[in-house]
Chains A and B, each alone.
Chain A
Amino acid sequence: MPKDHGIGAASKRREDVRFLTGKGVYTDDMNIAGQAHAVMVRSNVAHGRIVSVGTAAAEGMPGVLAVFTGEDFAAVGGNPAGWLINSRDGTPMREPKRPVLAHGKVRHVGDAYAAVIAETYQQAKDAAQAIADASVIEELAAVVNMADAVANASNRVHDEIPDNLCFDWGWIEDNRAKVDEAIKNAPHVTTLELVNNRLVPNAMEPRASIGEYSPGTGDYKLTTTSQNPHLTRLLVAAFVMGIPENKLQVVAPDVGGGFGSKIYHYGEEALVLAAAKKLARPVRWTAERSESFLTDAHGRDHVTKIELASDKEGNFIAFRTETLANVGAYLSNFSTATPTFLHGTLMSGPYKVPNVYVNVKTVFTNTAPVDAYRGAGRPEATYSLERVIDKMCRELGLDPFEVRRKNLLTPDQFPYQSPVGLMYDTGNYQATLDKVMEMADVTGFEARRAASAAKGRLRGMGLSTWIEACGIAPSNLVGVLGSRVGLYDAATVRVNATGNLSVMVGAHSHGQGHETVFAQIVADKLGVPESSVEIVHGDTARIPFGMGSYGSRSLAVCGTAMDKALDKIIAKGKKIAAHMLEAAEGDITFGDGKFSVAGTDKAKTFGEIAFSAYVPHNYPLETLEPGLEETAFYDPANFTYPAGAYICEVEVDEGTGKVDVVAFHCADDFGNIMNPMIVEGQVHGGVGQGIGQALLEFTTYDENGQLLTGSYMDYPMPRAEDVPFYNVDYSCQTPCTHNPLGVKGCGEAGAIGSPPAVVNAVIDALQRGGHTHVTHIDMPVSPSRVWTAMNA
């Protein structure tokens, strides 16, 4: 029988009721008395010198309250990069200042160089247009293409950075000579050059921020679309504005999706706070979708050459990669970690391969900043590996299933120290491969291919086996690697006198269903109904601390903090129970919501203990504080390592080149499952985004740095008709060995494992259809690219 409550139950989501009835409260839904409206004045050129800002044009326009320019923020700090990466020669990365508003130069289309505050949104918008029309910006040649950026040193995004290079990183530099030697001597080397296409995250809720300031107390409040309110508070307070942290409250209310793009602090958040102080009024800003396209941090954008050295039987000897990674015009908060420690460290995949070396050159261009997007570095690593492995199989005439099987780590090899720095704690990669082959009925493929052929369509099957590092992250390790923050998390469990609970967690839910799942865990552990547990998140004034939600970390890190706080609650409850039951503390056991004296029928319910803690008439006050509230911080001992195997089947229309995904099978190992319904939903969403990357989505800047794909008219978001039902399984479970819940994280898996499975399937279809010259097509594998490849 499936469980009907607690850990492992498919509990329906409590947050759905407000979302389904229009009662959710997203930032732009708030209507604060006295609010004024901000509109940003944005550059319409990719690269230019600001000659003059036409602020005078807005003076006297109806409703205009204030105008800000870059000069107003010249004296305050900048939005910092969260990781310091050193180049191969030991020099630190180049780190240009990222101001609240551009001054001196604008560096990408959409770069804000002024802002208007007005009584109404329309008045602010009209004034912003007037300023834009009156401003003089001397357009400079744009740096768009990464190879050109590095080669053409005279054209600089940042005047002080001569080669547009942020850093030239080697991982692991000590491996380099050995890897070079292994590749030189290998019986076979497969080389593949590929592009990991630039994506726009496109959370459906555009970014929005409201600033408030209380002149009487000097307190600021920022309500904003954030995945991590405490991190935003730290960045805004300490780095950008110079406000004491204790004078800034950051609230992230209902947030309509993030996928990475709402991890980061953006200039508009500082702007609305500065404006609120200047005007002593609430100031709100909401992005239009076109602003989101221009200014939200984009994802991926790698150009990679990968070499796979093997013997003739397909046993891997070495991987070597060279990558150009785009960071855009400025360093977004995680932008330097994404192509390095979230990418290079995963470049041995789930395989036993002794020699791996990764080189990443990260390049400034006159485009929007690029940062972590669902998967963040790990999809790029997985795509490179899984594509080159398929190419190797084809070159050597080997079966792609068998080649993976013989190179996968085996269950007896854990814990496994990879050659690129990670210690995989546990896994069973053969199990997920077996499972997905069963789910996909691999042996029946030939019959399905023949049936497709009878309809005039080419059918292909593609596999990927993948691993990721989640549960970000052990602070001491990431500190060594360059992180400027710790990546622990925190939770407070507050038991109220009447026995119900408020649990304040540092993780932030923006679609993941934490309010439901975290309550399941609390209920399971304490033996209370889920309905008596309220999960509080997203408000620095209400929660103890937290590093937010990204990198599939919420359960593995924050969930563990919560579990440890629950342990403290139970430990204190035992002391109270021992007193009330006149027994030794060591004789008290806790289970099924009751504190019992072992071997007797004497017991107190959890509710009785809670009541006693707050009405301590019969209570050990000499030795124990009243009240029942505990906080725990948890810093993980290691990353977690979800892994899996995905199979995609496609049909290709030979006449048009259109690809249809006709089946998609996922066998994942996420460790223990807290709520299967939500896990499935996470995989569905990730695979949907991965199919989008593989077949549809692309982000194109022209040679002048104009974004050609700047709206939903041009940027092909996956629609319901573009994707199939997904077949999802998570029965292969090797629980994480270093957190008490045994969880690994499931949020990014789908987006990591799926793109190579889709592209491998397309190439397989073309090969089987006789187009044997087609060995690779870059994503998105659009009809025109497929048709062109077939007919080359």
Chain B
Amino acid sequence: MTKVSMTVNGRAVSAETEGRTLLSAYLREGLHLTGTHVGCDTSQCGACVVHVDGKPVKSCTVFAQDVAGADVRTIEGMANADGSLGVIQQAFQDHHGLQCGFCTPGMVMSTAALLAENPKPTEHEVRHYLEGNICRCTGYHNIVKAVMAASGQDVSALAAE
């Protein structure tokens, strides 16, 4: 067991890990930050996406020890300082961009990464960017709308509400 330290959501943290401990397990089991979900074994579903040094990463593909010292942001760090929903989170609620909520943390983290690099994505760009995030509930309609709304675009004409 090795003690691994990093910064998560602005706080210095550390937890004991084995060499094979994944970042997702480090967050969930070590730090009890269970908002990051694990939906598959093959790095396909995207429920576990977090940001590592500002880049979106599937935390089930990374060993915790390999990102020691990194600056990590998870869904628990996405609300405003006063605890209210951030812009992306609010857009997902406003446009019913989630149902069961299991894929949602990954969707929000991927959206944040998309909007950081492309502040006004087209529908096609949104759909393409989210190909690594699987949702079984929404048929993606309201997720795409929520992402575009979060970018400040008028989504009222995209399709019937």
By a CB distance below 8 angstroms, the chain A residues around B99 are 257, 511-513, 681, 685
Query: B75 — nearest CB in chain A belongs to which residue?
Result: A22
Report the separation of the CA atoms of residues A289 and B135 in the bound assembly, to the nearest whole angstrom: 14
On whether the beta carbons of A712 and B44 are closer than 8 Å, the reply is yes
Report the separation of the CA atoms of residues A513 and B32 in the bound assembly, to the nearest whole angstrom: 26
By a CB distance below 8 angstroms, the chain B residues around A686 are 139
Query: A721 — nearest CB in chain B belongs to which residue?
Result: B127
In chain A, residues 11-66, which have Cβ atoms closer than 8 Å to a Cβ of chain B?
12-13, 15-26, 28-29, 31
On whether the beta carbons of A289 and B45 are closer than 8 Å, the reply is yes
In chain B, residues 36-90, which have Cβ atoms closer than 8 Å to a Cβ of chain A?
36-42, 44-45, 47, 74-76, 78-79, 85, 89
On whether the beta carbons of B160 and A729 are closer than 8 Å, the reply is yes
Per-position 1/0 for B6-49, Cβ under 8 A of A: 00000000000010100000001100111111111110110100
A129 contacts B by Cβ under 8 Å: no
By a CB distance below 8 angstroms, the chain B residues around A725 are 123, 141, 144, 158-159
User: Does more than half of chain B's interface fall in helix, strand or loop, or is it mixed?
Assistant: loop
On whether the beta carbons of A26 and B75 are closer than 8 Å, the reply is no
On whether the beta carbons of B105 and A204 are closer than 8 Å, the reply is no
> With A711-B41, A720-B144 given, is the CB distance from A17 to B93 under 8 Å?
yes
B112 contacts A by Cβ under 8 Å: no
On whether the beta carbons of B18 and A21 are closer than 8 Å, the reply is no
A20 touches which of B41, B108, B139 (Cβ 8 Å): B108
A559 contacts B by Cβ under 8 Å: no
> With A289-B42, A729-B160 given, is the CB distance from A684 to B138 under 8 Å?
yes
Query: B144 — nearest CB in chain A belongs to which residue?
Result: A720
By a CB distance below 8 angstroms, the chain A residues around B139 are 684-689, 691, 718, 723, 726, 750
Report the separation of the CA atoms of residues A757 and B134 in the bound assembly, to the nearest whole angstrom: 24
**How far, in Å, is A429 (CB) from chain B's closest CB?**
21
Report the separation of the CA atoms of residues A674 and B130 in the bound assembly, to the nearest whole angstrom: 31
**How far, in Å, is B99 (CB) from chain A's closest CB?**
4
By a CB distance below 8 angstroms, the chain B residues around A688 are 138-141
Query: A12 — nearest CB in chain B belongs to which residue?
Result: B93
On whether the beta carbons of B39 and A689 are closer than 8 Å, the reply is no
On whether the beta carbons of A19 and B98 are closer than 8 Å, the reply is yes
On whether the beta carbons of A204 and B93 are closer than 8 Å, the reply is no
In chain B, residues 125-143, which have Cβ atoms closer than 8 Å to a Cβ of chain A?
126-128, 130-131, 133-143
A75 contacts B by Cβ under 8 Å: no
Interface size on A, residues (CB 8 A): 63
Interface centre among B98, B99, B140, B158 (most CB of A within 10 A): B99
> With A681-B96, A684-B142, A750-B139 given, is the CB distance from A21 to B101 under 8 Å?
no
A282 contacts B by Cβ under 8 Å: no
> With A290-B41, A712-B42, A723-B139 given, is the CB distance from A19 to B104 under 8 Å?
yes
B100 touches which of A255, A721, A728 (Cβ 8 Å): A255
A510 contacts B by Cβ under 8 Å: yes
A29 touches which of B34, B74, B75, B138 (Cβ 8 Å): B34
On whether the beta carbons of B130 and A719 are closer than 8 Å, the reply is yes
A466 contacts B by Cβ under 8 Å: no
On whether the beta carbons of A12 and B47 are closer than 8 Å, the reply is no
Using C-beta atoms within 8 Å of the partner chain, give the interface range for chain B: 35 or more
Per-position 1/0 for A269-308, Cβ under 8 A of B: 0000000000000000000111000000000000000000
A254 contacts B by Cβ under 8 Å: yes
> With A259-B136, A712-B134 given, is the CB distance from A205 to B44 under 8 Å?
no
On whether the beta carbons of A713 and B96 are closer than 8 Å, the reply is no
On whether the beta carbons of B130 and A720 are closer than 8 Å, the reply is yes
On whether the beta carbons of A204 and B103 are closer than 8 Å, the reply is yes
B136 touches which of A13, A204, A678, A729 (Cβ 8 Å): A204
On whether the beta carbons of B128 and A713 are closer than 8 Å, the reply is no
**How far, in Å, is B39 (CB) from chain A's closest CB?**
5
On whether the beta carbons of A681 and B138 are closer than 8 Å, the reply is yes
A22 touches which of B35, B131, B138 (Cβ 8 Å): B35
> With A203-B100, A257-B102, A511-B99 given, is the CB distance from A20 to B85 under 8 Å?
yes
On whether the beta carbons of B41 and A13 are closer than 8 Å, the reply is no
A256 touches which of B40, B92, B102 (Cβ 8 Å): B102
A122 touches which of B20, B39, B123 (Cβ 8 Å): B20
On whether the beta carbons of A22 and B39 are closer than 8 Å, the reply is no
> With A205-B39, A719-B131 given, is the CB distance from A16 to B93 under 8 Å?
yes
Query: B90 — nearest CB in chain A belongs to which residue?
Result: A20
By a CB distance below 8 angstroms, the chain A residues around B136 are 201-204, 257, 259, 685, 689, 717
**How far, in Å, is B105 (CB) from chain A's closest CB?**
6
**How far, in Å, is B66 (CB) from chain A's closest CB?**
18
Report the separation of the CA atoms of residues A779 and B40 in the bound assembly, to the nearest whole angstrom: 25
> With A685-B139, A720-B131 given, is the CB distance from A23 to B100 under 8 Å?
no
On whether the beta carbons of B128 and A717 are closer than 8 Å, the reply is no
On whether the beta carbons of B34 and A13 are closer than 8 Å, the reply is no
B40 touches which of A19, A512, A691, A712 (Cβ 8 Å): A712
In chain A, residues 576-609, which have Cβ atoms closer than 8 Å to a Cβ of chain B?
none
**How far, in Å, is B138 (CB) from chain A's closest CB?**
5
On whether the beta carbons of B32 and A31 are closer than 8 Å, the reply is yes
On whether the beta carbons of A204 and B47 are closer than 8 Å, the reply is yes
By a CB distance below 8 angstroms, the chain A residues around B161 are 676-677, 680
On whether the beta carbons of A26 and B102 are closer than 8 Å, the reply is yes
On whether the beta carbons of B41 and A16 are closer than 8 Å, the reply is no
On whether the beta carbons of B41 and A289 are closer than 8 Å, the reply is yes
Report the separation of the CA atoms of residues A383 and B27 in the bound assembly, to the nearest whole angstrom: 45
Report the separation of the CA atoms of residues A139 and B91 in the bound assembly, to the nearest whole angstrom: 54
By a CB distance below 8 angstroms, the chain B residues around A573 are none
**How far, in Å, is A210 (CB) from chain B's closest CB?**
14
A206 contacts B by Cβ under 8 Å: yes
By a CB distance below 8 angstroms, the chain A residues around B33 are 22
A767 contacts B by Cβ under 8 Å: no
Query: B85 — nearest CB in chain A belongs to which residue?
Result: A20
Report the separation of the CA atoms of residues A122 and B158 in the bound assembly, to the nearest whole angstrom: 48
On whether the beta carbons of A206 and B39 are closer than 8 Å, the reply is yes
In chain A, residues 247-266, which have Cβ atoms closer than 8 Å to a Cβ of chain B?
254-257, 259
Report the separation of the CA atoms of residues A122 and B93 in the bound assembly, to the nearest whole angstrom: 37
A727 contacts B by Cβ under 8 Å: yes
Query: A24 — nearest CB in chain B belongs to which residue?
Result: B101
**How far, in Å, is A436 (CB) from chain B's closest CB?**
12
On whether the beta carbons of B144 and A254 are closer than 8 Å, the reply is no
On whether the beta carbons of A20 and B89 are closer than 8 Å, the reply is yes
By a CB distance below 8 angstroms, the chain A residues around B138 are 681, 684-685, 688
Report the separation of the CA atoms of residues A689 and B18 in the bound assembly, to the nearest whole angstrom: 39
Per-position 1/0 for B144-159, Cβ under 8 A of A: 1000000000000011
**Chain A residues with a Cβ under 8 A of chain B:** 12-13, 15-26, 28-29, 31, 122, 201-206, 254-257, 259, 288-290, 510-513, 676-678, 680-681, 684-689, 691, 711-713, 717-721, 723, 725-729, 750
What 13 new A-B contacts, CB under 8 Å, besides A718-B139, A725-B141? A12-B94, A20-B93, A20-B98, A20-B104, A20-B108, A22-B78, A25-B34, A204-B100, A204-B134, A259-B136, A289-B42, A711-B44, A723-B140
**Chain B residues with a Cβ under 8 A of chain A:** 18, 20, 28-29, 32-42, 44-45, 47, 74-76, 78-79, 85, 89, 92-94, 96, 98-105, 108, 123, 126-128, 130-131, 133-144, 158-161
Enumerate the 3 nearest inter-chain pairs by beta-carbon distance, A residue then B residue, closest first. A22-B35, A688-B139, A19-B101
- What are 12 inter-chain pairs, A to B, with CB distance below 8 A? A21-B79, A22-B34, A22-B36, A22-B76, A26-B102, A204-B135, A681-B96, A713-B44, A720-B143, A725-B123, A727-B159, A750-B139
